[in-house]
């Protein structure tokens, strides 16, 4: 019967994972978090950015991110609207408030080798803009997302450190 080797392989893979997602994947239960993990907490930086198709200078505070923003979102210039940070013990979650009624809910866990697992839920008031999971995400690497609100193009950068 071919089903048994596949089940054995799937079970072995699931048991070797650094965490186990339960149910529909909407929650994290950390089963094997390494007690000797170099950093048991993570600092999160969230930046709300206005994006434009108009050629022009971008905000100097975004200089390190502009190439990534241009590649990811295909806009020409960017202005920082606001930013906030939070520190989270892993595994754990936090909510980060940004200007214009924007909120970012983040759930994080240590993935191993200096990487994190991150669920990011971007809210505009009561409206969910984005709900995405990043696995094996490098610390220091920003995650980029975009939306439009009242004719304004918005970008979100969230960086685990």
The pLDDT tens digits for 107-147 are 999 888 888 999 999 999 999 999 999 988 898 899 999 99
Burial class of residue 72, CB neighbours in 10 A (0-12, 13-18, 19+): middle
Domain ranges across the chain: 33-160
- pLDDT in the model for residue 155: 94
The pLDDT tens digits for 51-101 are 999 999 999 999 999 999 999 999 999 999 999 999 999 999 999 999 999
Three-class secondary structure of residue 65 per DSSP:
coil
Q: How confident is the model at residue 38 (pLDDT cuts 50, 70, 90)?
A: low
- pLDDT in the model for residue 37: 53
């Amino acid at each position: 019967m071919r089903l048994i080797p596949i089940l054995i392989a799937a079970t072995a893979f699931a048991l070797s994972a650094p965490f186990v997602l339960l149910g529909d994947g909407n929650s994290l239960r950390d089963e094997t978090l390494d007690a000797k993990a170099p950093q048991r907490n993570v600092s999160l930086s969230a930046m709300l950015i206005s994006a434009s198709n108009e050629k022009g200078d971008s905000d100097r505070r975004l200089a390190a991110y502009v190439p990534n923003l241009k590649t990811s979102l295909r806009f020409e210039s960017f202005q920082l609207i606001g930013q906030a940070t939070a520190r989270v013990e892993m595994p754990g979650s936090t909510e980060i408030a940004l200007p214009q009624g924007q909120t970012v809910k983040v759930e994080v866990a240590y993935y191993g080798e200096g990487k994190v697992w991150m669920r990011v839920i971007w809210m505009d008031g009561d409206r969910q803009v984005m709900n995405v999971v990043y696995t094996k995400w490098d610390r220091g690497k920003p995650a980029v997302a975009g939306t439009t609100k009242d004719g304004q193009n918005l970008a979100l950068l969230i960086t685990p450190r």
